[in-house]
Chain A
Amino acid sequence: MFNFKTVASTAMAAGLLALSATAPVIAQDKYDVYLSMSYIGNDWQAEAANMVKAIASHSNYADRVNLRVQVAGPNAQRQIQQINAMVQAGADAIVVYPISPTALNNVVKNACDKGVTIIAYDGEITEPCAYNVTIDQDEAGRVTAEWLVEQMGGEGDIVLMTGVPGTSVDAARTAAAKEVFAKHEGINVVGEAIGMWSQAVARTELSKILATRDWSDVDGLWMQVGCFTANAMQLEAGIAADALLPCAGEGSNGGRIQMLPAGTDVEGAASPYAPLGAPRISYASPPYSGALAFKLAVDVLDGKEIADLTTLPLPLVTSETVQLCETGSWDEQKAGCNAFLPSLVSNPGWFASIFSADLPEVGLNAALVGQPED
């Protein structure tokens, strides 16, 4: 038995080697672009994937690019394997939502060495040969914290809701915001909850904080995700809409609708997904970054030069600049609207920062159902 096992394990190695001579190479005229996603179990990821699919099916790309989408889940080992399998399958370019900014470095380097274009969106890959499309996370943390301090007149107690601990994005945003708060002596951080970038988690975490504190003990909220939920909870606690706490937070459509002046007529609105005149600044890592990464990848394949790091303009919307869209087409968003009708977007946790001046191919329908603009 023992001998047999040893034989078996060496047989496996031999088996691996024996497979190295098979199948002819198929001639190709279209670019093969692969998308390696992380986890698809949340709104942001699903939206980003929809937008990539939409732009790939737009007439600008449909007849010259083959897009294949694969999911690696939360496991970096699998993404490493997946990227390599994509290289092996003959990818011209790979668009990656990197699970880890560092773990992919070696496989990405190998891919680059084989002439494959690697472009990461939202998260960054630190390997120099990869292109990155992302927002400035420091700026996101800093600007929103400064807004909150200003709203509160530089004084008061605040609650923080952070993202997923151990990720670079969370570390950068939280550190930048805390730096701002530390500069103002009147600002005290009285509670810090781990929000995991989820409205559902934000709800349970805020409830835990409120078990030992009252809304009246808090003067402001800084949350990576959770302002929509925080406003809903204040309404449930009997706080009037005009007394809502200032909240610096995510760019969900629910939050944007709440920012509209109370009484605005909005089709499909139902409390708390309704105009409240909530004092807010809304920022987001925009879900169109995947579509832009796809576009840039094709540009590279076309022989164009692109920047190694594309820093997206930080989408910031305040209660003063929020504006309702009628249809959500790209043209309409270009004219400045940034919130969508609840009758079109039934999920308030859906991310509303989908406009990019560089992407006329994708509008609301792209993010919702993966359909490009005409």
Chain B
Amino acid sequence: MNHTDTAPSQAKPVKPRFMRGLQRSRPMLTALAVLIALLTLNSTISPYPLSYFDVSFLASGGTTTALAAMGQTLVILSGGFDLSAGAVISLVNAVLASQMDPTNFAASVPLWTGIGIAVGMAVGAFNGFFIAYLRLQPIVVTLATMFIVQGLTLLVMDKPGGFVSPSIGSAYMGDAIPNLLPASVVLLGVVVLLWLWLKRTPFGLALYAVGSDPEAASATGLRTGWVIFFTYVLAGGLYGLAGVFVSAQTGSGDPLVGNSLLLPTFAAVVIGGSRLGGGKGGLVGTIFGAYILMIVVNILLSLNISAYYSTIAESTVLMLAVLAGSLSASSPLAHKLRGARDYISARSKQMLITQRPYADKRLDFAAKVSPSRKAGPGFWTRNSALMRYTLPAFVCLFVVLLITQASFGNVFTSFRYWDALFVLSSFLVILALGQGAVILTGGLDLSIPWTIGLSGILVAGIVQGADGALIYAIPVVLIVATIIGFLNGLGIVALGLSPIVVTLAMNGLLQGVALIYSNGTPDGFAAPALRWMMTGEILGITPIIPTLGLFVLAAVLLLGRTAFGRRVYAIGNSETAARLSGVNTGKTLILVYILSAICAALVGILLTGFSGQASLGMGDGYLLPSIAVVVVGGALITGGRGHYLGMFGGALLLTSMQTLLAGTTLPFAFRSVFFGLVILAAVIALREKRSH
């Protein structure tokens, strides 16, 4: 279905319906094959036989992830992205565990299941309203929702506890048919049946249409807004069901239980064969993806893989599973290999463009156009788009500054506030260039956390507190980062895999490398020069600030005034159009990921200087903010639109808001809600007036 544009002349005979179906569901079938292979492997290497109980436990173990990932699949099919999935699971779990009567051991299963699904759908409707009707970007709406829901969850339940009636537990964890069919399998089966029905309804058709091409869908008269809204509501319902299932599984509540499920849901969707970006895939493959992720736990145990290597092993499974689903004669890898073969043969025949003699082939009239420039549009007209997308961040920043001034009274009177603001925002300002460039090409770099962590650990470990060693330590770290970025880029360009998969796997790989290198406890100190850079003083300001000024200037020039920058935007607008216009898209993409890795490495080095030492997990808190600043700064997550100055404003906005909140004694729950609302407010200001 996605190759109809390649060569209409080679029309093939129409295959029988069954064969077409088989071909179309190939990624899903591959996921199934991988799952069966892993299950077989596990039962071969495990010396103990599986009993029915084990099978039933295995089945229910993956159900929560499977349900949540199915919700995520719906959103992804519609071309969206939902970061609130994990938070909704926690919320539903907290609501159920805190609201059930601890003396009632026979609470109604349908009632509480309904409540859980309704809570999830309510959150979904909130997402859907902003995404479908206000046309805000899914990633940033759901990011804001995630913060708000996490805050609400902590208001409902501030620590683990509560009670979930055993009747819920036995309903979902028990057997549908004793010793034959676990209830969890039936639950998944029911959801699958509903999906297969839904898929054949006009809504199902519209869902795929909207995900494939929203403009075409809208042009054919589909009510795209309604379709998208309903998709988020349905997805929310599935997260709610996952929350109910977690409650049944654990018999109690934990306000953090779902938060770590977010990344696995993406992995499950991709392994299951759905395409990030929409329009292709389905919910059944996702179930297999979720179980593949769970069975890996058993295999690591059976093989007794050391703890330090477990993230490496998982990343490898993720990559291989996705690769297995995408390999075919028409896959990007095969395409690239054919391209390389053609290149070599053309070269040996002296037929390459670059090998031919240069001749001016411009058409006659082109030379006659006089190069004299007419008076161009005015400054405001030329920069109106820039203003539109960058100003909201700065306006919100100004509001936050006013509130800070009113509460603490030192914003406009002392430089100390600004000094702290710039130092603290320097990390996000730098990350914004890398993540921003990646997002401008329509990608996403999830390997930032452990690129930061590994770089910090390397630099502290090499310099061991000596200034002289910085001369080679920093180049070493930057070279390592270049390799990381190159591998990311290569995986995306040559293997044709989704950036999310490649960088997610890379992140796990780097975590393993960092653990092995540091043996669990990173040692060494930042060199005094690095510490001075971040915490010292020169003419009354911290030395990083003037450097940061230069960085911002260089970043604006790089993205706005160089050929590289223009290629980045061109790829983001349409990779095909860029390639056909002669842009070496592969090379540019690889360079973009190298840029991102280098920015992350710089942050790792500076963070080490700031803290005086490196620690494992020091980059953990920077992934979502790095995405948030880029989007709040006016960039479009699908690529092609955005300006670095806006991202800079976004970084300052987020940091100033955190500074304001840190100075208060507000409980974390309220801070989280407030943080989410401000992000939402900033993107509402960025709203497109017309549909695109």
Residues of A within 8 A of B (CB): 1-2, 4-6, 8-13, 15-17, 19-26, 34, 37, 39-43, 46-47, 49-50, 68-78, 80-82, 84-86, 88-90, 100-107, 110, 126, 162, 164-168, 170-172, 189-194, 196, 198-201, 203-205, 207-213, 229, 232-233, 236, 270, 272-273, 346-350, 368-369
Contacts A6-B192, A40-B307, A81-B294 given; indicate if A103 touches B59 (C-beta within 8 A).
no
A198 touches B32 (CB 8 A): no
Binds A, one of B563-571, B609-617, B627-635: B609-617
Q: Which residues of B contact A17 (CB under 8 A)?
A: 52, 55, 180
Contacts A77-B65, A81-B298, A105-B252 given; indicate if A12 touches B288 (C-beta within 8 A).
yes
B611 touches A102 (CB 8 A): no
How close is B242's CB to chain A, nearest CB, in angstroms? 10
Quick check: is B360 within 8 A (CB to CB) of the other chain?
no
Within 8 A of A (CB), among B415-444: 416-417, 420-421, 423-424
C-alpha gap A322/B453 in the complex (Å): 32
How close is B186's CB to chain A, nearest CB, in angstroms? 9
How close is B374's CB to chain A, nearest CB, in angstroms? 50
How close is B538's CB to chain A, nearest CB, in angstroms? 14
Binds A, one of B120-128, B254-262, B335-343, B362-370: B254-262
Q: Which residues of B contact A200 (CB under 8 A)?
A: 607, 611, 615, 618
Q: Which residues of A contact B57 (CB under 8 A)?
A: 84, 107, 110
Binds A, one of B23-31, B131-139, B378-386, B682-690: B23-31
C-alpha gap A253/B662 in the complex (Å): 27
Contact flags (1/0) for B182-202 with A, using CB distance below 8 Å?
Answer: 000100110011001001100
Contacts A11-B32, A102-B250 given; indicate if A208 touches B611 (C-beta within 8 A).
no
Quick check: is B43 within 8 A (CB to CB) of the other chain?
yes
C-alpha gap A200/B180 in the complex (Å): 51
Contacts A171-B159, A212-B659 given; indicate if A71 touches B521 (C-beta within 8 A).
no
Quick check: is B494 within 8 A (CB to CB) of the other chain?
no
Q: Which residues of A contact B277 (CB under 8 A)?
A: none
B291 touches A212 (CB 8 A): no
Contact flags (1/0) for B291-314 with A, using CB distance below 8 Å?
Answer: 100100110111010111011000
A20 touches B50 (CB 8 A): yes
Quick check: is B448 within 8 A (CB to CB) of the other chain?
no
Apart from the given pairs A12-B291, A84-B58, 20 other A-B contacts in the complex at a CB distance below 8 Å: A4-B18, A4-B25, A17-B52, A17-B55, A19-B39, A23-B47, A47-B521, A70-B297, A70-B300, A81-B294, A88-B48, A100-B160, A107-B57, A164-B256, A165-B154, A208-B658, A208-B659, A211-B421, A211-B663, A347-B613
Quick check: is B585 within 8 A (CB to CB) of the other chain?
no
C-alpha gap A6/B287 in the complex (Å): 12
C-alpha gap A210/B535 in the complex (Å): 13
A20 touches B44 (CB 8 A): no
C-alpha gap A103/B256 in the complex (Å): 10
Quick check: is B284 within 8 A (CB to CB) of the other chain?
yes
How close is A72's CB to chain B, nearest CB, in angstroms? 8
Contact flags (1/0) for B158-198 with A, using CB distance below 8 Å?
Answer: 11111000000100010000001100010011001100100
C-alpha gap A103/B89 in the complex (Å): 13
Quick check: is B649 within 8 A (CB to CB) of the other chain?
no
How close is A113's CB to chain B, nearest CB, in angstroms? 10
* Pairs A-B, 10 closest by C-beta atoms: A1-B21, A46-B520, A211-B420, A102-B252, A41-B617, A171-B159, A208-B662, A346-B523, A212-B408, A75-B260
A12 touches B665 (CB 8 A): no
A22 touches B43 (CB 8 A): yes
B662 touches A191 (CB 8 A): yes
Quick check: is B236 within 8 A (CB to CB) of the other chain?
no
Q: Which residues of B contact A81 (CB under 8 A)?
A: 58, 61-62, 294, 297-298
How close is B541's CB to chain A, nearest CB, in angstroms? 14
C-alpha gap A9/B254 in the complex (Å): 31
Q: Which residues of A contact B520 (CB under 8 A)?
A: 40, 43, 46-47, 49-50
C-alpha gap A272/B528 in the complex (Å): 11
Pick the most buried of B64, B521, B522: most chain A CB atoms within 10 A of its CB.
Answer: B521
Q: Which residues of A contact B620 (CB under 8 A)?
A: 41
Q: Which residues of A contact B160 (CB under 8 A)?
A: 100-103, 166-168
How close is A270's CB to chain B, nearest CB, in angstroms? 6
B158 touches A166 (CB 8 A): yes
How close is B651's CB to chain A, nearest CB, in angstroms? 14
Q: Which residues of A contact B515 (CB under 8 A)?
A: 40-41
B199 touches A2 (CB 8 A): yes
Contacts A50-B520, A82-B301, A106-B173 given; indicate if A20 touches B54 (C-beta within 8 A).
yes
C-alpha gap A90/B35 in the complex (Å): 23
Q: Which residues of A contact B423 (CB under 8 A)?
A: 207
Quick check: is B225 within 8 A (CB to CB) of the other chain?
no
Contacts A75-B261, A349-B615, A369-B519 given; indicate if A5 touches B196 (C-beta within 8 A).
yes
B611 touches A82 (CB 8 A): no
Closest to A4 in B: B21
Q: Which residues of B contact A41 (CB under 8 A)?
A: 453, 511, 515, 616-617, 620
Closest to B524 in A: A346
Contact flags (1/0) for B241-257 with A, using CB distance below 8 Å?
Answer: 00000100111111111
Quick check: is B344 within 8 A (CB to CB) of the other chain?
no
B256 touches A167 (CB 8 A): yes
Quick check: is B98 within 8 A (CB to CB) of the other chain?
no
Quick check: is B79 within 8 A (CB to CB) of the other chain?
no
How close is A12's CB to chain B, nearest CB, in angstroms? 7
C-alpha gap A15/B291 in the complex (Å): 13
Quick check: is B486 within 8 A (CB to CB) of the other chain?
no
B192 touches A76 (CB 8 A): no
B611 touches A13 (CB 8 A): no
Partner of A192, one of B189, B200, B665: B665
